[in-house]
Amino acid sequence: MTSTAEERYDQQRAAQWMDGAAVGRGLSRRDLLRTAVAGSAALGLAALPGVRWAARADTPPAGPIRKPLPPDLFTVFGTNAETKWEALRRVGYHVPTDRFYVRNHTSTPLVDRDSWRLRLFGTGLRGAPTRDAPVELNFADLARLPAETYSAFLECAGNGRSFFTTQQGGTVTGTAWKLGAVGVARWRGVRLGTVLRRAGLTRAAVDVLPAGLDPNFVSGGVDLGPVRRPLPVAKALDDVLLAYEMNGAPLLPDHGFPVRLVVPNWIGIASIKWVGEIEVSDQPLFSPWNTQFYRYFGPGFPAGGSPPLTRQVVKSAFELPFPAALPAGRTIRLTGRSWSGNGRIERVRVSTDGGTTWRHPRIRVAGDGRGWTLWELPWRPPGPGDYELLARATDATGRSQPDRTPPNDLGYLFDAVVRHPVTVA
C-alpha cells in the first residue's frame, strides 16, 4: 500500500499550499485560480476531435444524462442522479449499470471511440512533449495493452451531504444526496501506470492531471475549463485503471465512454470520465478541483481550506426507502452494505432501537478493500410505531462511524451513523 507515500504527498501539498507555492513558484492562491481559468480558455476543447457535445443545436436536447432514470431507481438532482437504496435490495454485489448513480458537472458528451485519442504531455515525460505535440494513443492501442479487472466502489465526496442538514441541523451547499451517490462495479481496463511508463514517465514526475472531454464547467459565471483533477504519481502508479468496461460491457456514455479513470478508494472526482488528455508534470499541479473544491472549508479549517481530500470515509446504508414503511407483526430481513476508503470492513453493528442496543448482523458477502460488505439482520418490530435503524461499521484501520461528523461548508465526507426512519404499521 502507498499510504505513507500518500501521507507524504498530502503533507507536502499542504505545505506548498500554505506557502502559496505551485506551478510557477511564489504564486498566490488567487493568482493560481486566475491562471487556471486563463489556461482552460486556451485549451480550446471544442476543437478536439472525437467530441460531439450532447447539447449541440443540431441534436435534439437530450438532457444532461442519457440513460433512462426511472423514479423507482433514481432521485434526480439537475445534472446528477442518485441510486435509490431500495433498488439495491434484490441485486447482488455489483450495482447494475442501469441503476448506477451519475454525477455530471455539465452533461454527458457522446465521444466517438474510433476518433478518440488519449494525449499525454508535460515535463514529467521523457523529452517533455507539449500539448501541441503530445504522445498519442488511440482506443485500439489501449485495447492491445494488458488488461486488468477488479471490483471497486465509486463514491461522490458529497455522498450523504443532506444529513449535515437533516440530522445535524447545519447548512451546506451542493447536491443534497442521501446515501445513493455510491456504487460498486466491475471495471476492466489498463493500468494507468502501464500507459504512463509507455509514454516515457520520468523519475521526476510528481503529478498527473487527467481532463475530461465533457463541456467546460461554469461556476458563478466563471468558465473553469474542463473537469480535471491532479493525482499524485504514487497513486497513479498504484491501482488506478484507464477503464473501458463496466460490469462486463463497454462503458455507457454517462459513465465515461469510451475511457475513464477508476481511482479506487478515493473520492469520485478523481475518477475522471471521458478522459481525453493527461498532463504529466515534474511540478505539483493545481486545478479548481483540488483548490476551490474538494477540500474542507469553514470554521476550524485553514483559510485556504484543508489539504485536498483523497480517500473516502466509512459508511453504511440500509437497502430500504428513506423513510421506510414496514408491516407490523412480521419478521423483516433488514439488509444493508458498508464500505470504506481505508480498506475492508472489519465489523458492522446494527441497532433497531435508535442506538440503545446493538446487534451483530450476518455477513452475506465480505468485500475486499476496494468494495463493500453486504450484511443482513432479521428484525421483528415489537409493534406499530416509529423507529430508527442505525448501522455502524469499522474498517481494517480501526476507523469507525462517529455519531456526528464535524461540518464543513461544502458538505464533504459525511461519515456519521445515519438514523434511518421507519414507520411500522
Ligand X SMILES: Nc1nc2c(c(=O)[nH]1)N[C@H]1C(S)=C(S)[C@@H](COP(=O)(O)O)O[C@H]1N2
Q: Which residues bind ligand X (CB under 6 A)?
A: 100-105, 154, 156, 212, 214, 227, 255, 268-269, 271-274
**Cell 479506487 identifies what position?**
264
CA distance 422 to 425: 10
Which residue lies nearer to ligand X by CB, 214 or 415?
214
CA distance 26 to 44: 27
Which residue lies nearer to ligand X by CB, 375 or 414?
414
Which residue lies nearer to ligand X by CB, 310 or 352?
310
Which residue lies nearer to Mo ion by CB, 294 or 387?
294
CA distance 151 to 185: 6
Residue 125 gets which letter from DSSP? Answer: B
Residue 101 interacting partner from Mo ion, ligand X, none (CB closer than 5 to 8 Å by kind): ligand X
75-83, 103-111, 279-287, 336-344 -> range binding Mo ion (CB under 5 A): 103-111
Q: What is the distance, to the nearest Å, from the Cα of residue 218 to the centroid of all Cα atoms in its chain?
A: 20
- Partnered with residue 151 across adjacent β-strands are 186
What are the residues whose beta carbons fall under 8 Å from the beta carbon of 110, sequence distance 6 or more? Answer: 52, 54, 66, 253
Residue 212 interacting partner from Mo ion, ligand X, none (CB closer than 5 to 8 Å by kind): ligand X
Residue 160 gets which letter from DSSP? Answer: T
Residue 188 interacting partner from Mo ion, ligand X, none (CB closer than 5 to 8 Å by kind): none
Residue 214 interacting partner from ligand X, Mo ion, none (CB closer than 5 to 8 Å by kind): ligand X
Residue 154 interacting partner from ligand X, Mo ion, none (CB closer than 5 to 8 Å by kind): ligand X
Residue 103 lies near Mo ion (rule: CB under 5 A): yes
Given candidates 268, 276, 343, 407, which one binds Mo ion under the rule CB under 5 A?
Answer: 268
Which residue lies nearer to ligand X by CB, 65 or 389?
65
Which residue lies nearer to Mo ion by CB, 308 or 381?
308
Angle at 347 between CA 247 and CA 312, to 5 degrees: 55
CB atoms within 10 A of CB 382: 11
CA distance 281 to 287: 13
Q: How far is the CB of 62 from ligand X (least distance, A)?
A: 16
Residue 315 lies near Mo ion (rule: CB under 5 A): no
Q: How far is the CB of 146 from ligand X (least distance, A)?
A: 24
Edge-to-edge strand order for the sheet containing 102-103? 74-77, 80-83, 102-103
Subset of 133-162 contacting Mo ion (CB under 5 A): 156
Task: Give the type of residue at 62.
Answer: A
What cell numbers appear for 7 in the block?
501521507
Rounded alpha-carbon distances, angstroms, from residue 408 to 158, 266, 280: 11, 18, 31
Residue 227 interacting partner from Mo ion, ligand X, none (CB closer than 5 to 8 Å by kind): ligand X
Residue 142 interacting partner from Mo ion, ligand X, none (CB closer than 5 to 8 Å by kind): none
Residue 272 interacting partner from Mo ion, ligand X, none (CB closer than 5 to 8 Å by kind): ligand X
Subset of 167-226 contacting Mo ion (CB under 5 A): none
Q: How far is the CB of 158 from ligand X (least distance, A)?
A: 8
385 torsion bin: left (phi>0), alpha (psi -120 to 50), beta (else): left
Which residue lies nearer to ligand X by CB, 110 or 328?
110
Q: How far is the CB of 86 from ligand X (least distance, A)?
A: 19
Which residue lies nearer to ligand X by CB, 190 or 269?
269
Residue 32 gets which letter from DSSP? Answer: H
Q: How far is the CB of 389 from Mo ion (least distance, A)?
A: 26
18-26, 96-104, 118-126, 166-174 -> range binding Mo ion (CB under 5 A): 96-104
- Partnered with residue 260 across adjacent β-strands are 243
Rounded alpha-carbon distances, angstroms, from residue 186 to 100, 265, 320: 12, 14, 24
**Cell 448501522 identifies what position?**
391
What are the residues whose beta carbons fall under 8 Å from the beta carbon of 341, sequence distance 6 or more? Answer: 155, 265, 266, 267, 311, 312, 313, 314
Which residue lies nearer to Mo ion by CB, 157 or 390?
157
Nearest-CB residue for ligand X: 212
Residue 280 interacting partner from ligand X, Mo ion, none (CB closer than 5 to 8 Å by kind): none
Residues of this chain that interact with Mo ion (CB under 5 A) are 103, 156, 268-269
